[in-house]
């Protein structure tokens, strides 16, 4: 029997870690789960299956919370979102069943390694974000007509009604299947991949991609969670503490995001992501005995890697993004 103080302390510890994850997830736009799993596994020692289960549950709460607001603003394209959910939910089922095989064969290291790679790869699009606000229109194809992929929304920043249409629905579906697979495999919303599918493949404006992706994440995560539930990857105490914490963090993050005027701050968030990604990768290789170095050395290696990557990315995208802003200003002014 533990004392009341100890019980409270365990709860607060998970809660604080989750608030941090929710905050960082919302400020980078990657979602709470992507930050939550590394924090829970690396720093609190929670088994990765429970961490992934808790992350998937928290993803439902943040997605549904945010989606209710976005539907009101009418930026989310519900048709495009629902159409692509066929692929994300199917992918999520395949991903959850794959991870069931991985866990039952004690191959946890694969999840760590894939997680690390996914975080590291999502840093680049996040660093580029803000560059292509409205894409150059591509000629509509047959899927635009059949699946009614057109829409419009009022852009507050540009002060005008933006009309858009999506193309290459089939390519969007293909990428969404993969996004769903990763979501089921790692227990995250994989919002970055969903945005890639809509922004790059279907040529939709960034604002439509991000809000529609958020709308889809809840349904994808509910699919994965149901299978996780049956497999026993959801530990009620951990999952409830993280769902509450991530929601608090995400709500605070949204409020902070509106107030941040200095865009350069996001480089600090990206640096934390780079560190977590590298650390997950190294931990995976360590668990597989491919790279046996002490934990302290792992942290040092991750730190060195982070510094190098951030310097490279800042010179590649940080300075360039400024130029684009200046050029844009010229065009519209």
Partner 1 sequence: MVRWDMDYVIGLALRIGVVVSIVLMIIGGTLLIIEGRGLGYSDYSIMSIRSRVNTTVIPPITALRGLSQADGLSFIILGLMVLIATPVLRVALGIASFAMERDWLYVVITIVVFINLMLAIFVIPALLHL
Binding to partner 1 in span 241-270, by CB under 8 A:
241, 243-244, 247
User: Does 295 interact with partner 1 (rule: CB under 8 A)?
Assistant: no
Smallest gap, in angstroms, from Cβ of residue 124 to partner 1?
30
Separation between Cα atoms, residue 294 and residue 310, nearest integer Å:
24
For 286-319, b where at least 16 C-beta lie within 10 A, e where not — what string?
bbeeeeeeeeeebeebbeebbeebbeebbeebbe
Measured between alpha carbons, how far is 113 from 63 in angstroms, rounded to an integer? 26
Q: Which of 42, 85, 168, 253 binds partner 1 (CB under 8 A)?
A: 85
The least distance separating partner 1 from the CB of residue 144, rounded to whole angstroms, comes to 14
Q: Is 206 or 251 the residue whose CB approaches partner 1 more closely? A: 251
In the bound state with partner 1, the residue whose beta carbon lies nearer, of 202 and 270, is 202
Contact with partner 1 (CB under 8 A) among 25, 29, 83, 249: 83
152 contacts partner 1 (rule: CB under 8 A): no
Q: Which of residues 51-70 bind partner 1 (CB under 8 A)?
A: 53, 57, 60-61, 63-65, 67-69
Nearer to partner 1, 173 or 313 (CB): 173
Q: For residue 177, what are the contacts with CB-CB under 8 A and spacing of at least 6? A: 87, 88, 90, 91
| Position among 16, 162, 229, 324 found at the interface with partner 1 (CB under 8 A) | 229
Total residues in contact with partner 1, by rule CB under 8 A: 66
C-beta separation of 119 from 279 below 8 A: no
What number of other Cβ atoms are within 10 A of residue 78's Cβ?
13
Upper half-sphere CA count for residue 133 (Cβ side, 13 Å): 10
Part of the chain binding partner 1 (CB under 8 A), chosen from 39-47, 114-122, 196-204, 281-289: 39-47
Question: From the CB of 236, what's the least distance to partner 1, in Å?
Answer: 5
101 binds partner 1 (CB under 8 A): no
Q: Which stretch binds partner 1 (CB under 8 A): 120-128, 157-165, 233-241, 260-268?
A: 233-241
SS3 for 171-233 is: HHHHHHHHHHHHHHHHCCCCHHHHHHHHHHHCCCCHHHHHHHHHHHHHHHHHHHHHHHHHHCC
Least Cβ distance, residue 90 to partner 1 (angstroms): 6
Cα separation of 33 and 54, whole Å? 8
Q: Is 154 in the site for partner 1 (CB under 8 A)?
A: no
SS3 call for 32: helix
Q: Name the phi and psi angles at 157, rounded to 5.
A: -75, -40
Quick check: 223 binds partner 1 (CB under 8 A)? Answer: yes
10: contact with partner 1 by CB under 8 A: yes
Q: Give me the half-sphere count of Cα atoms (radius 13 Å) on the Cβ side of residue 265.
A: 11
The least distance separating partner 1 from the CB of residue 314, rounded to whole angstroms, comes to 37
| Contact status: 108 vs partner 1 (CB under 8 A) | no
What stretch of H or E contains 39? none
Q: Please give the Cα distance from 75 to 57 (Å, whole number).
A: 25
The smaller minimum CB distance to partner 1, of residues 137 and 232, is found at: 232
Which residues here bind partner 1, judged by CB under 8 A? 1-2, 4, 7-8, 10-11, 44-47, 50, 53, 57, 60-61, 63-65, 67-69, 71-72, 74, 78-79, 82-83, 85-86, 89-90, 92-93, 96-97, 146-148, 218-219, 221-241, 243-244, 247
């Amino acid at each position: 029997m533990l004392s009341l103080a100890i019980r409270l302390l365990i709860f607060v510890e998970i809660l604080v870690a989750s608030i941090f994850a929710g905050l960082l997830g919302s400020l980078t736009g990657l979602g709470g789960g992507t930050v939550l799993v590394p924090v829970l596994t690396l720093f609190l020692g929670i088994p990765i299956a429970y961490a992934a289960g808790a992350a998937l549950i928290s993803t439902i709460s943040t997605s549904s919370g945010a989606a209710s607001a976005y539907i009101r603003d009418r930026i989310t394209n519900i048709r495009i979102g629902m159409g692509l959910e066929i692929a994300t939910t199917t992918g999520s089922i395949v991903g959850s069943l794959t991870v069931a095989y991985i866990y039952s064969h004690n191959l946890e290291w694969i999840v760590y390694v894939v997680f690390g790679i996914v975080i590291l790869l999502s840093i680049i699009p996040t660093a580029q974000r803000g560059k292509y606000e409205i894409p150059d229109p591509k000629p509509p194809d047959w899927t635009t007509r059949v699946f009614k992929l057109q829409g419009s929304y009022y852009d507050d920043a540009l002060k005008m009604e933006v009309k858009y249409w999506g193309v290459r629905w089939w390519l969007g579906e293909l990428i969404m299947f993969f996004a769903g697979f990763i979501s089921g495999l790692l227990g995250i919303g994989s919002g970055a991949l969903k945005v890639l599918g809509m922004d790059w493949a279907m040529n939709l404006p960034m604002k439509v991609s991000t809000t529609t992706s958020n709308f889809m994440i809840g349904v994808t995560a509910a699919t994965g969670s149901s299978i996780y539930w049956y497999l026993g990857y959801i530990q009620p105490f951990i999952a409830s503490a993280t769902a509450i914490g991530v929601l608090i963090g995400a709500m605070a993050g949204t409020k902070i995001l509106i107030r941040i005027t200095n865009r350069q701050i996001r480089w600090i968030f990206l640096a934390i992501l780079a560190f977590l990604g590298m650390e997950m990768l190294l931990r995976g290789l360590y668990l597989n005995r491919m790279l046996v170095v002490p934990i302290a050395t792992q942290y040092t290696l991750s730190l060195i890697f982070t510094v190098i990557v951030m310097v490279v990315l800042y010179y590649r995208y940080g300075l360039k993004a400024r130029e684009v802003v200046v050029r844009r200003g010229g065009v519209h002014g």
